[in-house]
Amino acid sequence: MSYVAVQGGREAIERACEAYEHRRSGRTSAPLELDQIREQLHLAVDRVMGEGGLYAPEHASLAFRQAAGDTFEAAFLLRAHRATLPRIAQSEVCSTGPMRVIRRISSAFKEVPGGQILGPTSDYTLRLLELDPLEDPVERRNHLRERLFSGKEPEGGIPDEFPRVVELLRREGLVQEVTSSSEEPFDITRRSMLYPAPRSARLQSMARAETGALLFLAYSSMRGYGDIHPTLAELRVGYVPLTVTNPVTGRTFVAGEVLVTEAEVVSRFSEPGGEPRFHLGCGMCFGQNELKAISMGVLDRCLRSPSPSCPAEDQEFVLYHADGIESMGFANHWKLPHYVDFLSDLDRLRKAREVAHARA
């Protein structure tokens, strides 16, 4: 089945676009300002950036507003905008070592070098709706500020660099190392991916995949359609310096900071004839998107399975279906006119029924 080109209805289409815009802009509520979206709906903005593959908080806020809160559509807008821009350069290889951490936890060890930093999170709330519209939001903001920043300096401070938790396991030889490729990382935006895909291509593909798709696939493995039972060695959220090279002097400099979430999961694995070791799975994405990074870490480990036995371990299954813009585009295309194909289908069905009735 395929869609067909049609013409006509231009005025109706224009009105439909205006009706969408009118509905989006609301009837009586105050217009949404971009800084409100960027600051107060930051998790949605982060998700749009990650799935759009472009770190641009202002533009992601704009896309989120234009898409009336639809993260698929907003990520599509952002990725389409990215396609209009020249690629100026490639960064130096950025490490999360010098990350300016705002959150860092480990569920593998109670005590980790550098300490556990809960950071801004709703993990420990009761998920009760705050039905208190009388509270003044400005007053509340000031109260929170007072609680966080007044009083004596917290003990310990935040170190400039946190050692990786997984190094504790690595020192004991408990981590199965992966031979990393010495080649330039694969770039899925410039070359078609062939399977089996190199790990760098898989990581890039998952870094811009749709959060729900990654979660769904990782969850299937965690629940039993697969054998990855992960432990979160480390989850960190923070700002990583974007380092680029000055083409005139050849010296490197920091162009700005990029908010990133990184997750490292470990799972126990025994290879026939080999020593049991932990296998590490890594997830990393733009913004604060912990579910995505954890899911990606689980799937990174799943996709290295020597004998794939379930959908989450099948490279083609995972990577072909996890991109939100592709899957959303395909599902949406069913709304386009399929009149000719459907009439043909209808015709064949009627003829088949005639034959069936004649036989009866």
Nearest CB to other proteins, comparing residues 250 and 272 = 250
Cα 279–Cα 161–Cα 172 angle in degrees, nearest 5: 35
- For residue 266, give the nearest of 234, 310, 314 by alpha carbon: 234
Is beta strand 175-176 parallel, antiparallel or unpaired with respect to 277-286? parallel
The single residue among 75, 203, 299, 302 that binds other proteins, judged by CB under 8 A, is 203
Nearest CB to other proteins, comparing residues 200 and 220 = 200
Residues 56-85 that bind other proteins (CB under 8 A): 56, 58-59, 82, 85
SS3 category, 112: coil
Residue 16's region, left for phi above 0, alpha for psi from -120 to 50, else beta, is alpha
**Site size toward other proteins, by CB under 8 A:** 83
Choose the binding region for other proteins from 30-38, 180-188, 218-226, 309-317 (rule: CB under 8 A).
180-188
310 binds other proteins (CB under 8 A): no
Choose the binding region for other proteins from 128-136, 158-166, 309-317, 323-331 (rule: CB under 8 A).
158-166
The angle, 0 to 180 degrees and rounded to 10, between the axes of the packed helices 211-223 and 42-52 is 90
Tokens of 144: 């929170």
The single residue among 91, 220, 231, 327 that binds other proteins, judged by CB under 8 A, is 91
197 binds other proteins (CB under 8 A): no
Q: Which residue has the tokens 């036989």?
A: 359
Residues 17-46 that bind other proteins (CB under 8 A): none
The single residue among 66, 116, 220, 231 that binds other proteins, judged by CB under 8 A, is 116
φ, ψ at 142 (rounded to 5°): -65, -40
Least distance between other proteins and beta carbon 128 (Å):
21
Whole-number Å distance between alpha carbons of 225 and 299: 12
Residues 267-286 that bind other proteins (CB under 8 A): 280, 282, 284-286
90 binds other proteins (CB under 8 A): yes
The single residue among 6, 13, 43, 118 that binds other proteins, judged by CB under 8 A, is 118
The single residue among 94, 174, 193, 310 that binds other proteins, judged by CB under 8 A, is 94
Least distance between other proteins and beta carbon 3 (Å):
31
Exposure letters 111-150 (e unless 16+ CB within 10 A, then b): ebebebbebeeeeeeeeeeeeeeeeeeeeeeeeeeeeeee
**Termini Cα distance of the chain:** 30
Number of neighbours of residue 12 by Cβ within 10 angstroms: 9
Nearest CB to other proteins, comparing residues 3 and 98 = 98
The single residue among 76, 164, 215, 324 that binds other proteins, judged by CB under 8 A, is 164
Residues 223-262 that bind other proteins (CB under 8 A): 240-242, 244, 246-249, 253-258, 260, 262
Least distance between other proteins and beta carbon 334 (Å):
29
φ, ψ at 213 (rounded to 5°): -65, -45
4 binds other proteins (CB under 8 A): no
- For residue 225, give the nearest of 318, 290, 328, 323 by alpha carbon: 318
By residue count, the chain amounts to 360
